[in-house]
Amino acid sequence: MNSKTLKIDLFFIVLTLVSFNIACAADYVFTINEGEKIKVLPKVLDFDNDSVQIIYSYPLNSSGEWQTTYSDAGVYLTKVIATDGLNKDIKTVKIIVKNVDRPPEIKTSKEHYFVEENKTLSFGISTFDPDGDNVSLEIVNAPNGSTIKEGYFIFAPGFNFVQKNWFFKALQAAGLKVIPRKSFYVTIAAKSNNLTTTKSIKITVIDSNRPPEINKEIEPIIAKELDKIKIDLKASDPDKDWLFYKVKGWIDSKEYKTKLGDAGKHHVTVTLTDGIYERKYVQDIIIKRNNFAPEITNLKKDKENVITLREGESRTLKLKTYDKNKDTVRILSDNLPNFAKIEGTKIIFHPNYTISNKTNTAVFKSTITASDGNLKNSYNLTIYVKDVNLKPKIINYSPEIYTKQRVLKPITFEINANDKDNDKLTYEWSLPGFVKVKTNEGRLTFKPTTIGKKKISVKVCDEANACVKHEWTLNVYTIVRR
Protein backbone atom coordinates (compact mmCIF):
# COMPACT_ATOMS: atom_id res chain seq x y z
CA MET A 1 0.00 0.00 0.00
CA ASN A 2 1.26 3.43 -0.90
CA SER A 3 2.03 5.41 2.24
CA LYS A 4 1.86 8.76 0.52
CA THR A 5 -0.39 11.14 2.43
CA LEU A 6 -1.96 14.18 0.83
CA LYS A 7 -2.70 16.87 3.39
CA ILE A 8 -5.44 19.26 2.38
CA ASP A 9 -5.96 22.65 3.98
CA LEU A 10 -9.53 23.97 4.04
CA PHE A 11 -10.33 27.45 5.23
CA PHE A 12 -13.55 28.03 7.15
CA ILE A 13 -15.14 31.27 8.50
CA VAL A 14 -17.92 30.31 10.83
CA LEU A 15 -20.95 32.53 11.45
CA THR A 16 -20.08 35.04 8.84
CA LEU A 17 -21.36 32.73 6.14
CA VAL A 18 -18.36 33.76 4.10
CA SER A 19 -16.98 30.89 2.03
CA PHE A 20 -14.65 30.32 -0.87
CA ASN A 21 -17.23 28.95 -3.24
CA ILE A 22 -15.75 27.94 -6.50
CA ALA A 23 -17.63 28.04 -9.73
CA CYS A 24 -17.81 24.33 -9.89
CA ALA A 25 -19.52 21.41 -8.25
CA ALA A 26 -16.97 21.40 -5.48
CA ASP A 27 -15.12 23.91 -3.47
CA TYR A 28 -11.91 21.93 -3.69
CA VAL A 29 -10.73 19.28 -6.16
CA PHE A 30 -7.90 16.93 -5.31
CA THR A 31 -6.42 14.08 -7.32
CA ILE A 32 -4.62 11.13 -5.80
CA ASN A 33 -3.58 7.65 -6.89
CA GLU A 34 -4.93 4.44 -5.57
CA GLY A 35 -3.08 3.41 -2.50
CA GLU A 36 -2.33 6.96 -1.39
CA LYS A 37 -3.70 8.51 1.79
CA ILE A 38 -5.56 11.82 1.90
CA LYS A 39 -5.99 13.92 5.03
CA VAL A 40 -8.13 17.07 5.26
CA LEU A 41 -6.81 19.70 7.63
CA PRO A 42 -9.47 22.42 8.07
CA LYS A 43 -8.49 25.85 9.26
CA VAL A 44 -11.44 27.50 11.04
CA LEU A 45 -11.91 31.16 11.94
CA ASP A 46 -14.63 31.86 14.57
CA PHE A 47 -14.92 35.50 15.58
CA ASP A 48 -16.66 34.59 18.82
CA ASN A 49 -13.96 32.16 19.67
CA ASP A 50 -16.57 29.49 20.13
CA SER A 51 -15.67 25.87 20.11
CA VAL A 52 -15.97 24.56 16.56
CA GLN A 53 -16.73 20.97 15.56
CA ILE A 54 -15.59 19.50 12.22
CA ILE A 55 -17.78 16.88 10.60
CA TYR A 56 -16.56 14.80 7.65
CA SER A 57 -18.66 12.79 5.25
CA TYR A 58 -17.79 9.58 3.42
CA PRO A 59 -15.24 8.55 2.36
CA LEU A 60 -13.38 10.59 4.97
CA ASN A 61 -13.33 9.22 8.46
CA SER A 62 -14.03 11.21 11.58
CA SER A 63 -10.47 12.44 11.52
CA GLY A 64 -10.73 13.66 7.96
CA GLU A 65 -8.48 10.90 6.64
CA TRP A 66 -8.92 8.33 3.92
CA GLN A 67 -6.44 5.59 3.10
CA THR A 68 -7.29 4.52 -0.42
CA THR A 69 -6.88 0.99 -1.66
CA TYR A 70 -6.23 -0.37 -5.12
CA SER A 71 -9.94 -0.85 -5.61
CA ASP A 72 -10.93 2.76 -4.86
CA ALA A 73 -10.42 4.29 -8.29
CA GLY A 74 -13.19 6.82 -9.06
CA VAL A 75 -14.54 10.31 -8.26
CA TYR A 76 -15.79 11.07 -4.79
CA LEU A 77 -17.65 14.17 -3.43
CA THR A 78 -17.39 14.68 0.27
CA LYS A 79 -18.56 17.48 2.56
CA VAL A 80 -16.63 18.98 5.38
CA ILE A 81 -18.77 20.89 7.91
CA ALA A 82 -17.51 23.33 10.48
CA THR A 83 -20.12 24.26 13.15
CA ASP A 84 -20.17 25.97 16.54
CA GLY A 85 -23.59 24.51 17.29
CA LEU A 86 -25.61 27.38 15.88
CA ASN A 87 -23.93 28.26 12.66
CA LYS A 88 -21.98 26.18 10.19
CA ASP A 89 -19.83 26.45 7.09
CA ILE A 90 -19.85 23.65 4.51
CA LYS A 91 -17.13 22.93 1.97
CA THR A 92 -17.51 20.39 -0.81
CA VAL A 93 -14.37 18.47 -1.66
CA LYS A 94 -14.07 16.52 -4.87
CA ILE A 95 -11.54 13.64 -4.60
CA ILE A 96 -10.42 11.99 -7.80
CA VAL A 97 -8.76 8.61 -7.15
CA LYS A 98 -6.80 7.56 -10.19
CA ASN A 99 -6.46 3.86 -11.00
CA VAL A 100 -3.00 2.46 -10.26
CA ASP A 101 -2.00 -0.81 -12.02
CA ARG A 102 -0.04 -3.10 -9.72
CA PRO A 103 2.55 -5.60 -10.98
CA PRO A 104 1.78 -9.31 -10.91
CA GLU A 105 3.36 -11.65 -8.43
CA ILE A 106 5.36 -14.87 -9.13
CA LYS A 107 5.79 -17.82 -6.83
CA THR A 108 7.64 -21.13 -7.22
CA SER A 109 8.05 -23.95 -4.73
CA LYS A 110 11.87 -23.72 -4.83
CA GLU A 111 14.58 -21.31 -5.72
CA HIS A 112 16.99 -24.00 -6.98
CA TYR A 113 16.13 -27.02 -9.10
CA PHE A 114 18.23 -30.02 -10.21
CA VAL A 115 17.82 -32.19 -13.28
CA GLU A 116 19.91 -34.87 -15.01
CA GLU A 117 20.78 -34.80 -18.67
CA ASN A 118 18.15 -36.43 -20.88
CA LYS A 119 15.52 -36.11 -18.16
CA THR A 120 12.74 -33.58 -17.81
CA LEU A 121 12.45 -30.89 -15.16
CA SER A 122 8.95 -29.56 -14.57
CA PHE A 123 7.79 -27.20 -11.87
CA GLY A 124 4.73 -25.03 -11.49
CA ILE A 125 4.75 -21.24 -11.56
CA SER A 126 2.00 -19.46 -9.60
CA THR A 127 1.02 -15.95 -10.61
CA PHE A 128 -1.32 -13.44 -9.06
CA ASP A 129 -2.43 -10.02 -10.20
CA PRO A 130 -3.76 -7.86 -7.40
CA ASP A 131 -5.91 -6.02 -9.90
CA GLY A 132 -7.32 -9.20 -11.34
CA ASP A 133 -5.69 -8.60 -14.69
CA ASN A 134 -4.66 -11.42 -16.99
CA VAL A 135 -1.05 -12.51 -16.50
CA SER A 136 1.22 -13.96 -19.18
CA LEU A 137 4.49 -15.79 -18.56
CA GLU A 138 7.65 -16.00 -20.60
CA ILE A 139 11.30 -17.03 -20.19
CA VAL A 140 13.64 -14.13 -20.72
CA ASN A 141 16.80 -16.22 -21.25
CA ALA A 142 15.33 -19.58 -22.11
CA PRO A 143 17.90 -22.41 -22.47
CA ASN A 144 17.56 -24.79 -25.38
CA GLY A 145 14.91 -27.35 -24.70
CA SER A 146 12.84 -25.21 -22.28
CA THR A 147 9.31 -23.91 -22.49
CA ILE A 148 6.41 -22.72 -20.34
CA LYS A 149 3.20 -24.57 -20.85
CA GLU A 150 -0.02 -24.19 -18.87
CA GLY A 151 1.76 -22.62 -15.92
CA TYR A 152 4.63 -25.10 -15.83
CA PHE A 153 8.25 -24.53 -16.64
CA ILE A 154 9.44 -27.54 -18.63
CA PHE A 155 13.09 -28.14 -19.40
CA ALA A 156 14.64 -31.27 -20.98
CA PRO A 157 18.42 -30.86 -21.32
CA GLY A 158 19.88 -33.25 -23.85
CA PHE A 159 23.04 -35.27 -23.55
CA ASN A 160 26.22 -33.23 -23.77
CA PHE A 161 24.51 -30.24 -22.19
CA VAL A 162 27.23 -30.48 -19.57
CA GLN A 163 30.56 -30.33 -21.37
CA LYS A 164 33.41 -32.20 -19.69
CA ASN A 165 36.82 -30.61 -19.79
CA TRP A 166 40.07 -32.59 -19.82
CA PHE A 167 40.27 -32.49 -16.03
CA PHE A 168 36.98 -34.33 -15.55
CA LYS A 169 37.86 -36.74 -18.35
CA ALA A 170 41.16 -37.53 -16.66
CA LEU A 171 39.46 -38.13 -13.31
CA GLN A 172 36.90 -40.37 -14.96
CA ALA A 173 39.58 -42.28 -16.83
CA ALA A 174 41.26 -42.91 -13.48
CA GLY A 175 38.03 -44.47 -12.21
CA LEU A 176 37.03 -41.53 -9.99
CA LYS A 177 33.30 -40.95 -10.34
CA VAL A 178 33.32 -37.17 -10.04
CA ILE A 179 30.11 -36.07 -11.72
CA PRO A 180 30.34 -32.72 -13.52
CA ARG A 181 27.43 -30.33 -13.51
CA LYS A 182 26.43 -27.01 -14.95
CA SER A 183 24.44 -24.32 -13.12
CA PHE A 184 22.75 -21.27 -14.57
CA TYR A 185 19.85 -18.94 -13.92
CA VAL A 186 16.70 -18.55 -15.91
CA THR A 187 14.60 -15.43 -15.60
CA ILE A 188 10.84 -15.88 -15.64
CA ALA A 189 8.82 -12.80 -16.49
CA ALA A 190 5.15 -12.32 -15.55
CA LYS A 191 3.39 -9.60 -17.51
CA SER A 192 0.03 -7.88 -16.97
CA ASN A 193 -0.83 -4.79 -18.89
CA ASN A 194 2.41 -2.85 -19.07
CA LEU A 195 3.90 -4.14 -15.85
CA THR A 196 6.40 -6.97 -15.59
CA THR A 197 7.67 -8.93 -12.61
CA THR A 198 10.74 -11.14 -12.96
CA LYS A 199 12.09 -13.96 -10.87
CA SER A 200 15.43 -15.72 -11.24
CA ILE A 201 15.49 -19.48 -10.72
CA LYS A 202 18.73 -21.42 -10.42
CA ILE A 203 18.90 -24.67 -12.37
CA THR A 204 21.70 -27.21 -12.09
CA VAL A 205 22.06 -29.85 -14.81
CA ILE A 206 23.87 -33.02 -13.72
CA ASP A 207 25.89 -34.93 -16.30
CA SER A 208 24.52 -38.32 -17.37
CA ASN A 209 27.32 -40.57 -18.50
CA ARG A 210 26.58 -42.92 -21.37
CA PRO A 211 28.38 -46.16 -22.17
CA PRO A 212 30.73 -46.37 -25.16
CA GLU A 213 29.36 -47.43 -28.50
CA ILE A 214 30.78 -49.84 -31.05
CA ASN A 215 30.25 -48.34 -34.47
CA LYS A 216 30.23 -51.49 -36.58
CA GLU A 217 29.72 -55.22 -36.36
CA ILE A 218 32.56 -57.04 -34.70
CA GLU A 219 34.16 -59.26 -37.32
CA PRO A 220 36.84 -61.90 -36.79
CA ILE A 221 40.44 -60.83 -37.19
CA ILE A 222 42.01 -63.03 -39.86
CA ALA A 223 45.78 -63.17 -40.22
CA LYS A 224 48.63 -65.54 -40.94
CA GLU A 225 51.39 -66.79 -38.75
CA LEU A 226 54.14 -64.18 -38.31
CA ASP A 227 51.70 -61.38 -39.11
CA LYS A 228 51.23 -58.50 -36.71
CA ILE A 229 47.64 -58.20 -35.49
CA LYS A 230 45.98 -55.25 -33.78
CA ILE A 231 42.68 -55.20 -31.95
CA ASP A 232 41.38 -51.85 -33.13
CA LEU A 233 37.73 -51.23 -32.35
CA LYS A 234 35.74 -48.80 -34.37
CA ALA A 235 34.25 -47.40 -31.18
CA SER A 236 33.24 -43.97 -29.97
CA ASP A 237 31.87 -42.41 -26.86
CA PRO A 238 28.72 -40.31 -27.15
CA ASP A 239 30.04 -38.10 -24.33
CA LYS A 240 33.43 -37.82 -26.07
CA ASP A 241 35.08 -39.43 -23.06
CA TRP A 242 38.48 -41.01 -23.34
CA LEU A 243 38.25 -44.72 -24.15
CA PHE A 244 40.51 -47.53 -23.01
CA TYR A 245 40.76 -51.19 -23.97
CA LYS A 246 41.66 -54.19 -21.89
CA VAL A 247 42.33 -57.53 -23.54
CA LYS A 248 42.33 -60.88 -21.78
CA GLY A 249 42.44 -64.41 -23.06
CA TRP A 250 44.66 -65.87 -25.74
CA ILE A 251 46.64 -62.61 -25.73
CA ASP A 252 46.69 -59.81 -23.18
CA SER A 253 47.50 -56.83 -25.36
CA LYS A 254 45.96 -54.92 -28.24
CA GLU A 255 48.92 -55.68 -30.51
CA TYR A 256 50.60 -59.04 -31.03
CA LYS A 257 53.17 -60.48 -33.41
CA THR A 258 52.03 -63.99 -34.22
CA LYS A 259 54.44 -66.90 -34.17
CA LEU A 260 54.75 -70.10 -36.06
CA GLY A 261 52.47 -72.57 -34.35
CA ASP A 262 49.79 -69.96 -33.56
CA ALA A 263 47.56 -71.25 -36.34
CA GLY A 264 44.01 -71.90 -35.21
CA LYS A 265 40.92 -70.11 -33.91
CA HIS A 266 41.37 -68.10 -30.75
CA HIS A 267 39.18 -65.92 -28.53
CA VAL A 268 39.89 -62.91 -26.38
CA THR A 269 37.62 -60.84 -24.19
CA VAL A 270 37.86 -57.14 -24.92
CA THR A 271 36.66 -54.70 -22.29
CA LEU A 272 35.94 -51.21 -23.54
CA THR A 273 35.61 -48.57 -20.82
CA ASP A 274 35.33 -44.83 -20.39
CA GLY A 275 36.32 -45.12 -16.74
CA ILE A 276 32.74 -45.56 -15.52
CA TYR A 277 30.89 -47.82 -17.92
CA GLU A 278 32.29 -51.02 -19.37
CA ARG A 279 31.30 -52.95 -22.45
CA LYS A 280 32.63 -56.45 -22.96
CA TYR A 281 32.60 -58.53 -26.09
CA VAL A 282 34.37 -61.57 -27.47
CA GLN A 283 36.78 -61.02 -30.35
CA ASP A 284 37.50 -64.02 -32.57
CA ILE A 285 41.01 -64.24 -33.99
CA ILE A 286 41.67 -66.69 -36.78
CA ILE A 287 45.33 -67.36 -37.51
CA LYS A 288 45.99 -69.23 -40.71
CA ARG A 289 49.00 -71.45 -41.09
CA ASN A 290 51.77 -69.62 -42.85
CA ASN A 291 53.61 -72.28 -44.79
CA PHE A 292 57.19 -71.48 -45.68
CA ALA A 293 59.16 -73.23 -48.33
CA PRO A 294 61.94 -75.40 -46.92
CA GLU A 295 65.53 -74.36 -47.42
CA ILE A 296 68.84 -76.08 -48.07
CA THR A 297 71.12 -74.04 -45.89
CA ASN A 298 74.43 -75.25 -47.30
CA LEU A 299 73.46 -74.34 -50.87
CA LYS A 300 73.20 -70.79 -52.16
CA LYS A 301 69.89 -69.62 -53.51
CA ASP A 302 69.86 -68.14 -57.02
CA LYS A 303 73.60 -68.70 -57.35
CA GLU A 304 75.69 -71.46 -58.84
CA ASN A 305 76.66 -74.22 -56.45
CA VAL A 306 79.62 -76.24 -57.66
CA ILE A 307 80.89 -79.70 -56.87
CA THR A 308 83.99 -81.09 -58.58
CA LEU A 309 84.59 -84.83 -58.86
CA ARG A 310 87.11 -87.12 -60.41
CA GLU A 311 86.15 -90.05 -62.52
CA GLY A 312 85.76 -93.12 -60.40
CA GLU A 313 85.48 -91.08 -57.22
CA SER A 314 82.67 -91.78 -54.77
CA ARG A 315 81.41 -88.63 -53.05
CA THR A 316 78.43 -87.92 -50.79
CA LEU A 317 76.95 -84.41 -50.57
CA LYS A 318 75.06 -84.04 -47.30
CA LEU A 319 72.36 -81.39 -47.59
CA LYS A 320 71.36 -79.40 -44.53
CA THR A 321 67.66 -78.66 -44.64
CA TYR A 322 65.56 -76.23 -42.60
CA ASP A 323 61.82 -75.79 -42.49
CA LYS A 324 60.29 -73.02 -40.39
CA ASN A 325 57.14 -75.07 -40.00
CA LYS A 326 59.15 -78.13 -39.00
CA ASP A 327 57.62 -80.03 -41.89
CA THR A 328 59.30 -83.10 -43.34
CA VAL A 329 61.62 -82.05 -46.14
CA ARG A 330 62.16 -84.17 -49.21
CA ILE A 331 65.05 -83.67 -51.64
CA LEU A 332 64.10 -83.99 -55.32
CA SER A 333 65.76 -83.60 -58.70
CA ASP A 334 64.63 -84.56 -62.17
CA ASN A 335 67.89 -83.83 -63.98
CA LEU A 336 70.67 -85.42 -61.98
CA PRO A 337 73.24 -87.31 -64.12
CA ASN A 338 72.93 -91.07 -64.07
CA PHE A 339 75.99 -91.46 -61.86
CA ALA A 340 74.24 -89.57 -59.01
CA LYS A 341 71.35 -90.62 -56.82
CA ILE A 342 69.41 -89.16 -53.89
CA GLU A 343 69.08 -90.99 -50.63
CA GLY A 344 67.16 -88.99 -48.04
CA THR A 345 68.97 -85.68 -47.72
CA LYS A 346 72.17 -87.03 -49.33
CA ILE A 347 73.28 -87.01 -52.95
CA ILE A 348 75.71 -89.82 -53.76
CA PHE A 349 78.01 -89.38 -56.77
CA HIS A 350 80.01 -92.13 -58.45
CA PRO A 351 81.05 -91.17 -61.98
CA ASN A 352 82.64 -93.89 -64.07
CA TYR A 353 85.82 -93.54 -66.08
CA THR A 354 84.12 -92.78 -69.34
CA ILE A 355 82.46 -89.53 -68.28
CA SER A 356 85.24 -87.18 -69.34
CA ASN A 357 88.17 -87.26 -71.68
CA LYS A 358 91.63 -85.85 -71.60
CA THR A 359 90.72 -82.60 -73.30
CA ASN A 360 87.31 -81.80 -71.80
CA THR A 361 85.99 -81.86 -68.28
CA ALA A 362 82.40 -83.09 -68.23
CA VAL A 363 79.89 -80.54 -66.93
CA PHE A 364 76.38 -81.37 -65.70
CA LYS A 365 73.73 -78.80 -64.75
CA SER A 366 71.22 -80.01 -62.19
CA THR A 367 68.41 -78.55 -60.10
CA ILE A 368 68.13 -79.67 -56.50
CA THR A 369 64.72 -79.06 -54.90
CA ALA A 370 63.69 -79.07 -51.25
CA SER A 371 59.95 -79.69 -50.91
CA ASP A 372 57.53 -80.00 -48.00
CA GLY A 373 54.81 -81.35 -50.27
CA ASN A 374 53.29 -77.94 -50.93
CA LEU A 375 56.07 -75.41 -51.26
CA LYS A 376 59.58 -75.81 -52.52
CA ASN A 377 62.89 -74.06 -53.01
CA SER A 378 65.18 -74.96 -55.88
CA TYR A 379 68.93 -74.59 -56.13
CA ASN A 380 71.28 -74.79 -59.08
CA LEU A 381 74.04 -77.38 -58.85
CA THR A 382 76.87 -77.63 -61.37
CA ILE A 383 78.81 -80.90 -61.36
CA TYR A 384 82.28 -80.97 -62.85
CA VAL A 385 83.78 -84.41 -63.51
CA LYS A 386 87.49 -84.36 -64.23
CA ASP A 387 89.10 -87.05 -66.30
CA VAL A 388 91.14 -89.74 -64.54
CA ASN A 389 93.43 -91.76 -66.79
CA LEU A 390 93.44 -95.49 -66.10
CA LYS A 391 96.12 -97.90 -67.05
CA PRO A 392 95.25 -100.46 -69.61
CA LYS A 393 94.17 -103.77 -68.21
CA ILE A 394 95.26 -107.16 -69.45
CA ILE A 395 92.31 -109.42 -69.85
CA ASN A 396 94.02 -112.62 -71.05
CA TYR A 397 97.09 -113.80 -72.89
CA SER A 398 98.63 -116.80 -74.60
CA PRO A 399 100.58 -118.94 -74.38
CA GLU A 400 101.09 -119.76 -70.74
CA ILE A 401 103.64 -117.82 -68.83
CA TYR A 402 105.96 -120.77 -68.73
CA THR A 403 106.07 -122.24 -72.16
CA LYS A 404 108.28 -124.76 -73.97
CA GLN A 405 109.11 -124.21 -77.57
CA ARG A 406 111.35 -126.03 -79.99
CA VAL A 407 114.17 -124.06 -81.41
CA LEU A 408 113.64 -122.54 -84.82
CA LYS A 409 109.97 -123.16 -84.57
CA PRO A 410 107.81 -119.97 -84.65
CA ILE A 411 105.58 -119.19 -81.66
CA THR A 412 102.89 -116.54 -81.51
CA PHE A 413 102.40 -114.45 -78.37
CA GLU A 414 99.03 -112.76 -77.88
CA ILE A 415 97.91 -110.26 -75.29
CA ASN A 416 94.32 -109.07 -74.92
CA ALA A 417 94.04 -105.73 -73.11
CA ASN A 418 91.46 -103.01 -72.83
CA ASP A 419 91.36 -99.41 -71.70
CA LYS A 420 88.43 -97.96 -69.72
CA ASP A 421 89.20 -94.56 -71.21
CA ASN A 422 88.88 -96.06 -74.67
CA ASP A 423 92.40 -94.87 -75.43
CA LYS A 424 94.27 -96.29 -78.39
CA LEU A 425 96.79 -98.82 -77.11
CA THR A 426 100.33 -99.45 -78.26
CA TYR A 427 102.41 -102.55 -77.62
CA GLU A 428 106.14 -102.61 -77.06
CA TRP A 429 107.66 -106.08 -77.21
CA SER A 430 110.97 -106.94 -75.64
CA LEU A 431 112.63 -109.96 -77.25
CA PRO A 432 115.83 -111.80 -76.45
CA GLY A 433 118.91 -110.04 -77.58
CA PHE A 434 117.57 -106.68 -76.46
CA VAL A 435 115.30 -106.48 -79.44
CA LYS A 436 112.43 -103.98 -79.18
CA VAL A 437 109.41 -104.23 -81.38
CA LYS A 438 106.45 -101.80 -81.32
CA THR A 439 103.11 -102.78 -82.72
CA ASN A 440 99.54 -101.52 -82.68
CA GLU A 441 98.12 -104.90 -81.92
CA GLY A 442 98.61 -107.46 -79.21
CA ARG A 443 100.08 -110.22 -81.40
CA LEU A 444 103.68 -111.07 -82.18
CA THR A 445 105.30 -114.16 -83.74
CA PHE A 446 108.77 -115.05 -82.58
CA LYS A 447 111.13 -117.81 -83.79
CA PRO A 448 113.83 -118.70 -81.29
CA THR A 449 117.19 -119.42 -82.76
CA THR A 450 118.97 -120.60 -79.71
CA ILE A 451 118.08 -122.91 -76.94
CA GLY A 452 117.71 -122.01 -73.30
CA LYS A 453 115.44 -119.90 -71.21
CA LYS A 454 114.31 -116.76 -72.90
CA LYS A 455 112.41 -113.76 -71.45
CA ILE A 456 109.77 -112.20 -73.65
CA SER A 457 107.67 -109.28 -72.42
CA VAL A 458 105.18 -106.76 -73.69
CA LYS A 459 104.41 -103.33 -72.38
CA VAL A 460 100.88 -102.14 -73.19
CA CYS A 461 100.55 -98.33 -73.05
CA ASP A 462 97.65 -95.93 -73.51
CA GLU A 463 97.75 -92.50 -75.03
CA ALA A 464 98.81 -90.98 -71.70
CA ASN A 465 101.69 -93.42 -71.62
CA ALA A 466 100.21 -95.34 -68.74
CA CYS A 467 101.47 -98.86 -69.17
CA VAL A 468 101.06 -102.41 -67.93
CA LYS A 469 103.58 -105.15 -68.54
CA HIS A 470 103.33 -108.86 -69.07
CA GLU A 471 106.18 -111.34 -69.28
CA TRP A 472 106.61 -114.90 -70.54
CA THR A 473 109.37 -117.37 -69.86
CA LEU A 474 110.12 -119.44 -72.92
CA ASN A 475 112.12 -122.63 -72.52
CA VAL A 476 113.64 -123.27 -75.95
CA TYR A 477 114.79 -126.78 -76.58
CA THR A 478 116.00 -128.89 -79.42
CA ILE A 479 115.25 -132.46 -80.41
CA VAL A 480 118.08 -134.88 -79.75
CA ARG A 481 118.17 -137.65 -82.30
CA ARG A 482 119.32 -141.09 -81.21
In tens, the pLDDT along 156-170 reads 999 889 888 888 888
Whether the CB-CB separation of 283 and 252 falls below 8 Å is answered with no
Q: What local confidence, expressed as pLDDT, does residue 10 receive?
A: 57
Task: Identify the helix (H) or strand (E) that includes residue 169.
Answer: helix 166-173
Considering only 96-100, 177-181, 283-287, which range has the smallest mean pLDDT? 177-181
Among 194, 201, 4, 7, CA closest to 93: 7
Instruction: Quote the CA–CA distance of 322 and 313 in Å, as a whole number.
Output: 29
CB atoms within 10 A of CB 23: 4
Using CA of residue 347, residue 351, residue 355, residue 361, what is the dihedral sign?
A: positive
DSSP string, 191-217: EETTEEEEEEEEEEEEP-----EE-S-
CATH code for the structural domain at 295-386: 2.60.40.10
Mean pLDDT of 446-455: 94
- Answer whether 105-206 and 295-386 agree in fold: yes
pLDDT value of position 273: 86
Q: pLDDT (tens digit, 9 = 90+) per residue, 369-401?
A: 999 999 999 999 999 999 998 899 999 999 999
In a 10 Å sphere around its CB, with 0-12 CB exposed, 13-18 middle and 19+ buried, how is residue 402 labelled? exposed
Read off φ and ψ for residue 169, nearest 5 degrees: -65, -40
**Among candidate residues 120, 1, 122, the one with its CA nearest the CA of residue 69:** 1
Give residue 12's pLDDT.
52
Q: How confident is the model at residue 110 (pLDDT cuts 50, 70, 90)?
A: very high
Domain boundaries, the chain: 5-98, 105-206, 217-287, 295-386, 393-477
- Distance separating alpha carbons of residues 419 and 392, to the nearest angstrom: 5
* 317 has a pLDDT exceeding 50: yes
Instruction: Report whether pLDDT(304) > 50.
Output: yes
| H or E element in which residue 315 lies | strand 315-318
Which residues are bridge partners to 257 per DSSP? 228
Pairwise CA distance, residues 45 & 150, whole Å: 64
More confident residue, 167 or 456: 456
Strand-strand pairing, 37-46 and 5-14 = parallel
Chain segment 211-257, per-residue pLDDT in tens? 888 877 788 999 998 999 998 877 888 888 888 888 999 999 889 99
Model pLDDT, residue 191: 92
Q: What is the pLDDT of residues 2-25, one digit of tens each?
A: 545 655 565 555 433 333 333 335
Question: Rounded to an integer, what distance in angstroms lies between the CA atom of residue 479 and that of residue 404?
Answer: 12
The answer to whether residues 163 and 134 touch, using CB atoms and an 8 Å cutoff, is no
Give the C-alpha distances (Å, rounded to integers) separating 315 from 43, 206, 308, 348, 356: 158, 89, 10, 6, 17
Predicted pLDDT of residue 482: 61
User: Side chain identity at 54, as an amino acid letter?
Assistant: I
pLDDT band with cut points at 50, 70 and 90 for residue 360: confident
Question: How far apart, in whole angstroms, are the C-alpha atoms of residue 234 and residue 246?
Answer: 15
**Tens-place pLDDT, residues 53-67:** 999 999 999 989 999
Predicted pLDDT of residue 310: 93
Peptide bond into 59 cis (omega under 30): yes
Averaged confidence pLDDT in the chain: 88
Cis peptide before 157, with omega less than 30 degrees from 0? no
| ∠ CA 465-466-469, rounded to 5° | 110
Percent of the chain with pLDDT over 90: 55
Task: Find out whether 319 and 348 touch, Cβ atoms under 8 Å.
Answer: no
Task: Pick the range with the lowest mean pLDDT from 358-362, 425-429, 441-445.
Answer: 358-362
Residue 280 exposure: Cα atoms within 13 Å on the Cβ side: 6
Work out the average pLDDT over 410-420.
94
Q: Is the pLDDT of residue 404 over 90?
A: yes
Q: What is the reported pLDDT for 344?
A: 94
Give ∠ CA 388-393-394 in degrees, rounded to 5.
175
Residue 277 has pLDDT above 60, yes or no: yes
Of 291, 266, 259, 482, nearest to 376 by C-alpha is 291
Dihedral sign for Cα 289, 295, 300, 306, please: negative
- The Cα diameter of the chain in Å comes to 244
Residue 476 has pLDDT above 90, yes or no: yes
Predicted local distance difference test score (pLDDT) of residue 45: 83
Cα separation, 47 vs 476, in Å, equals 224
Percentages of the chain per state (helix, strand, coil), in multiples of 5: 0, 50, 45
Q: Tell me, what amino acid is at 362?
A: A
Q: What is the pLDDT of residue 302?
A: 85
The pLDDT score that the predictor gives to residue 5 is 60
What single-letter DSSP state applies at residue 188? E
- The CATH superfamily holding the domain 393-477 is Immunoglobulins (2.60.40.10)
Q: What is the mean pLDDT of residues 295-321?
A: 94
CATH fold for the domain made of 5-98: Immunoglobulin-like (2.60.40)
The three-state secondary structure class of 168 is helix
CATH of domain 105-206: 2.60.40.10
